[in-house]
Structure 1
Amino acid sequence: MSQRVLQLTDCHLPAEAGTLFRGQDADARLAALVDSLRKQPPFDTLLLTGDLVHHGGPDAYRRLLTLVRPLGCEVYWLPGNHDEPAAMHAADPDGQLGAKRIDLAHWTLLLLDSTANPDGRGRGELASAELDWLQQTLSELDDRPVLLALHHNPAATGSLWQDAIRLGNPDALAAALAPCPQVRALICGHLHQAQAQQFAGRPLWCAPSTAVQFAAGCETFTLETQTALSTPGCRWYELHDDGRIDAHLLYLPAECEESVVDV
C-alpha cells in the first residue's frame, strides 16, 4: 500500500472570517477547495505548510482546523513568516499538530521551522538548533525514506522579488542533506505558485496557495491573472512502500468558485 499525503499551504486566513485577503475571501476559497478534495479518495495525512493565518489569533487557527476537518485525516502544521507561534500554541496546547517527526507505515515526514531571524520582509532561515535536530534525526532514519517539509523555498525561482525572501541559508540545508540519501524529496510553500525544481539533488515541489496565487518569473510583486492558475490549489503526494514518491497538482475548477468574492 501507499500513503496519500495532502499539502495545503499559504491559507492566509484573516483574524476575522469574511475579511478579504488581497481581494479574496480566504475562508471561502479554502472551504471550496476542501469540498472539492472530499470527492477524491481519502488522504491519510494533511500537512499545513505555513502562512496559515495572516497575523491572527488563536481563534483564526481554530477556524482553520474547523475548515479542514471534513477531510477526515491526521493534521500537522508548521509555521510560515506570517504565522504567530503563540497563537498556534494556544490553538494546539498539547503540541500534537506541531509534531516535527511523523512516522508513517514505511515513510517518515520531517517538518522544519524556517522562520528564524526574520527580516520583516518575509525572508526565512533555519536556526542552528533546527539544523542540528535535522542531522540528529536523519542519523536515526538511515533505513526509512524521508519527506522533508518547510515553509520557505530553498531554491531560487527567477522571480526577483521572491528570490530575495526565500530561505536565507540553503547551503546549510544542502550540507545537512548531503550524507543522507534517505531524504527522497522536499516540499515547501511561500511562493503562492506551483513549482517543480531540484534541490540538493532531490525533487523540490512547491504547492500553490489555497487563497491567492502570485505570477511566476516577475521582478516585482504580481498577482496571477491566468484563470487556470489563479484559483485555489494544492499538491498531494503518493508515498510508495518502496521509497518512490509521486507528486500531483490540483487547482479548483473556476466553476466551483461561484460563491467566492472578488473585488
Structure 2
Amino acid sequence: MAWFDEVAKFNTPQLRLAHITDCHLFCDIDGEYFAVNTAKHFSSALTHMAQQPLDAVIFGGDLTQDHSFESYLLFAQLIADSPLTCPVFWVPGNHDEISLMQRISGGQIKSAKRLIASGFDILLVNSKGPTPAGWVSEQHINELSEVLAASQQPAVVFCHHNPLPINGYLDKHMLENGPQLLNVLHNSGLVNHLFHGHVHNDYQFKFRSVDILSTPASSVQFTKHSIDWQQQNMGASYRLITLERLNTAEPLCVKSELIWLNE
C-alpha cells in the first residue's frame, strides 16, 4: 500500500487539531529524559487536550527514546488511559520504527496518512531517513505531488524533521532535502503551511509561500539558537490548530496557538 492510500474522512469544513510531538518514552513509565519524566509530561498533555473540542490529534514523531517495543506499548496505554476520545494519527520520527508504530495502530490510534475534510486535506509526510537526519525519498515526493495534483484541494502538511536550519545544534539532523520538499509544496499552489517537531522548541519561518511552524516537545525543550546541546524543562507543550474553509471559493484559513503546561 502506498503511503497516502489509507485515508480518514471528516465530513466538515472545519477541523480542530492538536499537534503533539517528541514524547521520548521509555519501557519504564518512570523513565527520565534529561531528568524529565516523559510519560508524566505526555499524560498531562493528553489530559489537557481532552478538555479541548478536538477532531483529531497529530503525533509528530519520536515516540521512543530507548527504542524498546515496550515504549510503544506505553504510548498506546497512556492514550487509552487518558480521557482523550478523538483519533490519534502519527508521523515517524528519527527515533521511531515505522513497523512498530503500525503494530500499535488500531482503534483510537490510526495509521491513515491522508485526512480529507470538506474542502481541504491534511497530509502526513514521512521524513524518516537512513540516519538521524531527515530525508524524503524521491518516490515519496512523487507520490505527494500526485496526491496534490489529483485532489486540487488546499492542504496542510505535517512531518517530523525541520526542513530549514534553525541556527542550532540539531541542524546537523535536519531534513536534508527540505528545500526540495518545500518547493514541491509551493509549486503545487495548494500548501501554505507545514508543521513539524524534532527541534524541541518553537520556531517560525517562511519559504516562498509556505509558512513553517515547529511545535515544542511534550518532553523537554532544547535551548534555542545554541550551538551546544542544552536542555530546559519548561513543561509539556502542544499546538492547537484550527483549519476552516466554509466556502470553496475562499482559501483555507489556518490558525494555531501554542499551549504550555508549566509545572
- TM-score w.r.t. the length of structure 1 is 0.86
From 215, 227, 244, the counterpart of 1:240: 244
* SS of residue matched to 1:233: strand
Structure 2 Cα separation of the partners of residues 50 and 179 of structure 1: 26
Q: Does 1:201 align with 2:212?
A: no
Match of 2:231, SS? coil
More deviation in 42-51 or 177-186? 177-186
Please give the per-residue CA displacement for 1:2-37, whole angstroms capped at 9, x wherever unaligned: 210110100101122211111111111111122222
List runs of 5+ in structure 2 lacking aligned partners. Answer: 1-12
The more displaced of 59-68 and 6-15 is: 59-68
Q: What's the CA shift for 1:199?
A: 2.7
1:47-93 Cα deviation digits (max 9, x unpaired): 00100122434432232133234221111111000112222122227
Residue 159 (structure 2) pairs with residue 150 (structure 1): yes
Provide the secondary structure at the position in 1 that maps to 2:222. Answer: coil
Q: Is the 8 A contact 1:187 1:204 kept in 2?
A: yes
Instruction: Decide whether the 8 Å contact of 1:212 with 1:232 is kept in 2.
Output: yes
Secondary structure at the residue paired with 1:179? helix
8 Å contact kept, 2:27–2:74? no
- Secondary structure of the residue that 2:100 maps to in structure 1? helix
For residues 232 and 31 of structure 2, the distance between their equivalents in structure 1, rounded to whole angstroms, comes to 20
Q: List per-residue Cα deviations over 1:139-162 (Å, max 9, x = no partner).
A: 1121x2201000000011111x21
* Matched residue type, 2:151: L
**d(CA) in 2 for partners of 1:112, 1:136:** 13
Q: 1:184 aligns with which of 179, 188, 192?
A: 192
Q: 2:240, 2:119 → 1: CA distance?
A: 17
Tell me which of 123, 126, 141 is aligned to 1:113: 126
Give the match for residue 10 of structure 1.
Answer: 22
% identical equivalent positions: 24
Q: CA deviation at 1:184?
A: 2.3
When residues 46 and 77 of structure 1 are mapped into structure 2, their CA distance, relative to the original with a 3 A threshold, is: same
Contact 1:148 1:183 in 2 (8 A): yes
Residue identity matched to 1:251: W
Q: Secondary structure at the match of 2:74?
A: helix
Q: Which amino acid aligns with 1:68?
A: I
Question: Between Structure 1 and Structure 2, which shows a larger proportion of strand residues?
Answer: 2
Q: Is the 8 A contact 1:153 1:206 kept in 2?
A: yes
User: Aligned partners of 1:116, 1:49: CA distance in 2, in Å?
Assistant: 15
2:51 to 39, 63, 78: 39
Which residue of the partner structure matches residue 25 of structure 1?
37
Q: Is the Cα contact below 8 Å between 1:55 and 1:83 reproduced in 2?
A: no
Aligned amino acid, residue 125 of structure 1: W
- Report the TM-score, using the length of structure 2 for normalisation: 0.86
Pair 1:103–1:24, CA change in 2 (3 A): same
- Give me the whole-angstrom Cα distance separating, in 1, the residues matched to 2:90 and 2:172: 25
Native 8 Å contact 1:58 1:88 kept in 2? no
Kept after mapping to 1: 8 A contact 2:185/2:210:
no
- Say which is worse superposed, 123-132 or 98-107, in terms of deviation: 98-107
Listed one character per residue, the Cα deviations across residues 217-253 of structure 1 (whole Å, up to 9, x for unaligned) are: 001101126xxxx111011111011411001111003
Deviation, 1:209, is: 0.4
**Per-residue deviation at 1:171?**
2.4
Q: What amino acid is the match of 2:184?
A: A
Q: How many aligned residue pairs are there? A: 243
What secondary structure does 1:134 align onto? helix
SS in 2 for 1:14: coil
| Contact 1:7 1:48 (C-alpha < 8 Å) held by counterparts | yes
Distance in 2 between residues matched to 1:97 and 1:59, nearest whole Å: 19
Give structure 1 regions of 4+ aligned residues with deviation exceeding 6 angstroms: none
User: Helix, strand or coil for the counterpart of 1:12?
Assistant: coil
Q: What corresponds to 2:9 in structure 1?
A: none
CA distance in 2 between counterparts of 1:61 and 1:104 reads 29
